[in-house]
Amino acid sequence: MGKYFKYAIGEIILVVIGILIALQINNWNEESKQSRIEQTFLKRLKIDLEENIANLESLIAFQEKRNEGVKAFIKFSLMENSDSIRMIFPHFNTVLRWDDMTINQVTFKEMQSSGKLDIIQNDSIKIKLLQLDQQYQIVLKRNETIKIGHEKGFSEPYGKTVNSMSFFVLDESNKALFPRRYSKEEMLVYQEEFIHDLTDLVNNQVFMNSLIGSKYSHTLVLGEMKEAKRKAEELLSLIKSELE
């Protein structure tokens, strides 16, 4: 009986050891699977971040250029010499143009909605992902508010005051579209017409109020864009280190 019990206990121990080994192998396989999924998401986040950083750099450069244009318009409005209107020619398109902002958050939103955000083991990356998303929302909300003001304060007065054909002809980048070569006298007529329209535009109270207001709002959104870019670069650096 003693030998039998020893044999039975040995069998039980072997079975338990086998089960434990199987469980450990299963855990290793699961951890390996989770690690591969984590690596895939990190690589996708890296691509999204690089795209967003490039977009933000472009938007920041344009916003800085627009701010210079706004200052030129305001400076002109305070000058008595009407000939100085030519100083705002280079800034005309920049101030009147609107570029929609796009932020690529496809991977982050997918992870968030599917509950896979916790698959990322590095807590610093998770925290910075959430902080960056908050910063993106701040920038997008501010940009949307400015867009509404831009349409009412810039686009509407411009559409009612300025003949776009004059500026189109004066803009040398459009020469390839001209049906013929315009004479110097014709160009002067277009120039005088454009100067007249531009003077009326600068004297438009709605336009100038919007212009002065945009000086402050654009400065705010510029600061928020730079902060978003800084946070995106920090997160990108962390993810690159994790992938390595």
In angstroms, the CA 120 to CA 139 distance is 26
pLDDT exceeds 80 at position 31:
no
Residues 6+ apart with CB under 8 A from 213: 149, 153
Give the pLDDT mean for 47-55: 96
Q: Give 77's pLDDT tier (boundaries 50, 70, 90).
A: confident
Give the pLDDT mean for 58-67: 91
pLDDT exceeds 70 at position 35:
yes
Is pLDDT larger for residue 199 or for residue 20? 199
Could you read off the pLDDT of 88-136 as tens digits, one per residue? 777 877 888 888 888 999 999 999 998 888 889 899 999 999 999 999 9
Could you read off the pLDDT of 165-194 as tens digits, one per residue? 887 887 777 777 777 888 888 888 888 888
Could you read off the pLDDT of 211-226 as tens digits, one per residue? 888 888 888 999 999 9
Closest CA to 107 of 236, 242, 234, 229: 236
Give the pLDDT mean for 16-25: 67
pLDDT exceeds 90 at position 240:
yes
In angstroms, the CA 36 to CA 124 distance is 19
Is pLDDT larger for residue 13 or for residue 143? 143
Helices 205-243 + 184-202 axis angle, to 10: 90
Give the pLDDT mean for 55-81: 86
DSSP the chain: -HHHHHHHHHHHHHHHHHHHHHHHHHHHHHHHHHHHHHHHHHHHHHHHHHHHHHHHHHHHHHHHHHHHHHHHHHHHHT-S-GGGGGGGGGGHHHHH---------HHHHHHHHHT-GGG---HHHHHHHHHHHHHHHHHHHHHHHHHHHHIIIIIHHHHHH--HHHHHHH-GGGGGG-SSPPPHHHHHHHHHHHHHHHHHHHT-HHHHHHHHHHHHHHHHHHHHHHHHHHHHHHHHHHHHHHH-
Domain coordinates in residue numbering, the chain: 2-243
pLDDT exceeds 60 at position 29:
no
Could you read off the pLDDT of 127-166 as tens digits, one per residue? 999 999 999 999 999 988 888 888 888 888 888 888 888 8
Q: Give 7's pLDDT tier (boundaries 50, 70, 90).
A: low
Give the pLDDT mean for 34-53: 92
Closest CA to 78 of 191, 198, 203: 203
